[in-house]
Structure 1
Amino acid sequence: MESEELGCGGTVACLTLDSHWDPEAEIILGHGAYGSNSFGLGVGIFGSHTTHAWPACAEEIAEKFLDTTAIDTSILANDAGEGGEYWQAANIGMGALFHMAAMAMWIDSGPTGIIQRGYKHFSRAFMAKEPGHEGPIKQGDEGRAHLNRLSAVGLRHHPCLRMPGDVISEMAVEFISATDDGVVIHSKTGVILVEVLVNNKHCTHMEYTAENFGRRQSGQIPAEADEAAAVFPTQIALSRDRLRGLVGELAESDEVVLSVTSLNRDWPQQREIRRLAKL
């Protein structure tokens, strides 16, 4: 998927169609699992060595995700030792490609979900049952086969997922400036997400959507005046006290990072990140 017309400056997700299993060397040739968004191009790559187990159409989804045919390792790969049956191979191959494509679009954060290696249970997002699983698949059994909230909001407004009829406004420009009491986030087109990371791990996030705009205005969601003034605020002030409330107790060596995603942001500059040495 790649569309500069829709404001996406270069994002590609692909399968290497000549990847195959070499049983003598016991290695998958022509295969790489890679997702990145560096140097002005987003790339998500995975091998095609599991496609024999994939559904070819919607009508085959149930059949393929229930197929317990054993992988014959004299001709086919058991990827990472986790795809011993066809339904497992479909999970790993399809789920991992989704994972790599999301990383190409800079969706790689959050505490749970398919982006955090939940793709081994990819079928549970579509199926009510699974080979070897007793009873129906319930929400609590999904095994991370979901998009966490942070990823879902980020993908919803990602330029690569716009429809052809969607309005494209001017490109986002954002920056974070320091104040005596904290920081101020500035965005020309409006902020949709502010993620807070501690020591490079997700801690919490704040989101700005049409669905929560009314609750921000009414005070149901704590928000400063700027955050309640627009669906996608163009300025957000974060005091030191508020930041401390978000991250909790910190050690002297802890590093806090703010990661900001704006509306209509082309991915190569999707995030303005500010490192806060001390709170």
Structure 2
Amino acid sequence: MSITTSTIEPGIVTVTVDFPPVNALPSAAWFDLGEQILAAGADPATHVVILRAEGRGFNAGVDIKEMQATEGYGALIDANRGCAAAFAAVYDCAVPVVVAVNGFCVGGGIGLVGNADVIVATDDAVFGLPEVDRGALGAATHLARLVPQHLMRTLYFTAQNVTAQQLEHFGSVYRVVPRADLLETALEVARMIAVKDTRVIRAAKEALNGIDPVDVKTSYRLEQGYTFELNLAGVSDEHRDAFVTTGKAKA
């Protein structure tokens, strides 16, 4: 289980997540992911970052089993802070971040993808927030960057998924390709960015963040506040325990 950074071509750095079986990340891994993304962007030799994953799917969110096996609220606090740090790192990375989504992208994965600059996905990729089925809230901030407002609310309340093809229709996913072509497609986009003057691209990234109509970091932390309330009320534990025991949402 690891998060690794490597230079795949001059100016193009990949950050790869590999946490079998479903890339549900423990708290420490979220912090590590954020640190590696920021470090890659801080290197003057880096012109663009590709965020990708090995295995069945891109990301399954936080490791709920870790959370339920820990006494008190320490694991919850660490998971929330870790997610906030990783999401912010994608947004604040000094160079553009291209995400390559394979299979499923749910929960915390939406926070990563929603803050990215370019999204490419496999033709079997699905995106969603099962948060309400886990007794939690969060990442509506980022889902709202992928789909129109009313669809976001429908997906959020129902915990349904949206397909890569639907997101391509909305313009939030740039390309949808067979799984075998995913990395090469991400590289094609990255190369188009990497050949530009990195001084200009870095300024462009900062400028685009500066004119963003939504403060994604503050709005996400607001969402997390309601999750803490649900935890203090005992609601979240009921739902997480049901998921750990049965693998299904609490009825």
- Flag whether TM exceeds 0.5 (same fold): no
TM-score (norm 2): 0.26
Higher Cα radius of gyration:
1
TM-score (norm 1): 0.24
